Every structure is written in C-alpha cells, then in structure tokens.
Amino acid sequence: MTPEAPIILGIETSCDETAAAVVRDGIEVLSSVVASQEAVHARFGGIVPEIASRKHAEVITAVVEEALTEAGVSWPDLAGMAVTQGPGLVGSLLVGLSAAKGYALATGLPLVGINHLEGHLLANFLRFGDAEPITPDFPLVCLIASGGHSDILLMRDLGVYKILGWTKDDAAGEALDKGARVLGLPYPGGPALDAAARQGKPTAIAFPRPQVSGSFDFSFSGLKTALVRHIQAAGAPDTGTALSNVAALSDIAASYQEAVVDTLIRNTTAAAKRFSAKQMLLAGGVAANSRLRTKFAEAGRKLGIPTHYPPLSLCTDNAAMIAAAGHFRLLRHGSDALDMDAFSSLPVAEHV
C-alpha cells in the first residue's frame, strides 16, 4: 500500500444501524462509526421500519462527520463514496442513499451503490491498524448468515459470485430471534439466546436438523415449530414466557441453537467440498454467534480448509464493509448514476 492509496467513505443504513466509515485501499479501516437504535426498538420487541428511518435522518450527518474526524481526513482527501443500495428496509436505505447523493453533488466525488451482502463478505478482508489482512484464495465459499439472509456464496474472484444455497423461509438470524422470543428471552434475541446457551447442554434435546433435499438451501421454519411443541409438551404455561427453571431454559436454548448451527455448517461444508474451495468464510450478524464461530473453525480444520470470520465489530451492520466494497467497485466499474434507487430485495448473484 502506498500513501496515495485511495480513501473511500462508506455509508450504511439498511436496517436500524446508522453507520459511516473511512477505508483506505479497500482494506485499512481508518474509522468506523455506528449509531445503534437497539434501545429504541427494544420496547417493541423488534425493529419498527418507520421509526428506524426517522432515527437515521436525525443522526446521519453527525455520524458522517464523526467518521471523517476519527479518520483524520476531510472531503478533499476522499477518492469516492459508497452507500448501501439494498437489500434492506426501503425507508432506511433511502435516508442513506439521499445523504450520499447530496454529498456527491456538493463535492463532485464519484458514488457507487453497494449490495449489503457483498459488503458482509468483504468484511473478512478488512484490517485495523498493523494487523495482517486476510488474502482471498479462490475459489472460496462464504456463508452469509443474518436476520434476513442465509446464503452460501461461491466466490471465484472479486465481484464474481454465485449463490449456491439460500433460505426457503426463515433466515438463520430470524430463527434464532424467534426462538429467543418463544423462550421469553429479551431483545435482541440472538445474543440473548447465545448467552443462555453457554450455560446449557447442546445435546440435551434432539431438535431436528432441517434439510432441503438435493440442494444447499435452508429451511428453519419447521425447527421453530419443533421448539414450540417441545415447550408445550414440557407443560410450560405459554411460549414467550421465561421458564422458571433456568437449567431447563439453558438446555433448550443450547440445543435449539446447536440445531441451527449444525444445519448452517453442514450445508456450507458440503458446498465447500463440492466446489473444491480453498477457503471458507463466515459473515453477517449471525457470524457473531460464539457457537457458530467455534464450530465453523472446527469444521474447517476437519476439512483441511482455512476458515476466517470478521472481528465482532464487523459482523453486524457497519459502513467499513460498504466502503471496502465501494473501493473495488469503483476500480472495476466506475461511478454509478445519481438516479440509482434503493431495493428491499437485491440478490448479490444468481442462484445456481
């Protein structure tokens, strides 16, 4: 990397995190600022789209200014900007997209729209400070697991992807969140379930490992039904009420989480074998799950394939991953037109 390496500002507002970041040369994180709305939505037990978009509008200017200040750069130092175009909540996306367009008009900087899922994938190659970056080794397979997605991607080069598997119904993060809600755990459900599971036995209850025959696709809706039926059979007064027996709660949480994790790893390792992957990557909000990180690394060792996942701060939604994706998109395709739109659904590639 040279001192003249391009510096990109990224903006991310796909859901309930207002984020801005500055990245140099597509890998070096100079700043990463995230304004969370978790406390706002906790009272509702989930994200309220209209509230999310309003909160983005309230703080986005301050977040961008803080990212620039933290990075020690000003607008003339930037080579371009990147903003999440989809997938996500349209109202939230439009706030970030509108702000980025305004900045582009005011500064003359080139702007590119980024697929949120590509950003999650490229988070694996970012680095802070003097840490050594991960170098991609193609072909590689990446599992992107989040509240809205469970995708297995085959990556043959930067920007060259194929979707090998995706969810037919609930995504992995959604399955974990719903499971936490059924167990009466607090919002946000995924981290709460992970915490409860650490105290339990993952083999206590034999929950099913759902499989879509003849594919790498996922289906978690039946697993949630199995959880509800187990609680009802155990004589619990109602789902959504915290169990008084803490040990039983921990065992159920650990067993349910284990079923989700095993299903994710089974399909990902099968895809890695099929396509002779040289690396396996993990990305997305669910990549912060402690059990998934542990078992993912174990699976890679058994296959003899290096595995990588981002630091916790880059698993959840952030703008550093968007800036990184923007760096490479600007190099490959140049800037996008300022009439680009936001999309609630935006596949990162074709499903094979």
Fold: same for 7-126+314-333 and 140-308: yes
Do residues 264 and 143 touch, judged by C-beta distance below 8 A?
Answer: yes
pLDDT band per the 50, 70, 90 thresholds, residue 1? very low
pLDDT digits (tens, 9 = 90+) for 296-339: 999 999 999 999 999 999 999 999 999 999 999 999 999 999 99
Question: What pLDDT score was predicted for residue 233?
Answer: 85
Question: What pLDDT score was predicted for residue 205?
Answer: 96
- Please give the Cα distance from 245 to 242 (Å, whole number): 9
Cis amide leading into 133 (omega within 30): no
Question: What pLDDT score was predicted for residue 347?
Answer: 93
Does 2 have pLDDT greater than 80?
no
Which residues, 6+ apart, have CB-to-CB distance to 326 below 8 Å? 8, 10, 80, 81, 82, 83, 112, 114
Question: What pLDDT score was predicted for residue 97?
Answer: 98
- Please give the Cα distance from 37 to 34 (Å, whole number): 10
Residue ranges of alpha helices (H) inside 138-188 are 172-182
pLDDT digits (tens, 9 = 90+) for 199-222: 999 999 999 999 999 999 999 999
- Please give the Cα distance from 303 to 283 (Å, whole number): 19
CATH of 140-308, one of 3.30.420.40, 2.60.40.2470, 3.20.20.70, 3.30.70.260: 3.30.420.40
Do residues 136 and 343 touch, judged by C-beta distance below 8 A?
Answer: no
**Per-domain residue ranges of the chain:** 7-126+314-333, 140-308
Does 235 have pLDDT greater than 80?
no
pLDDT band per the 50, 70, 90 thresholds, residue 133? confident
Least confident window among 47-61, 63-77, 124-138, 180-194: 124-138
- Please give the Cα distance from 167 to 148 (Å, whole number): 9
- Please give the Cα distance from 98 to 81 (Å, whole number): 13
145 phi and psi, to 5 degrees?
A: -120, 125
Beta strand spans in the chain (E): 7-12, 17-24, 28-36, 80-86, 111-115, 127-128, 140-145, 150-157, 160-165, 279-283, 307-308
The mean per-residue pLDDT over the stretch 50-63 comes to: 98
What pTM was estimated for this model as a whole?
A: 0.95
According to CATH, the topology of domain 7-126+314-333 is Nucleotidyltransferase; domain 5 (3.30.420)
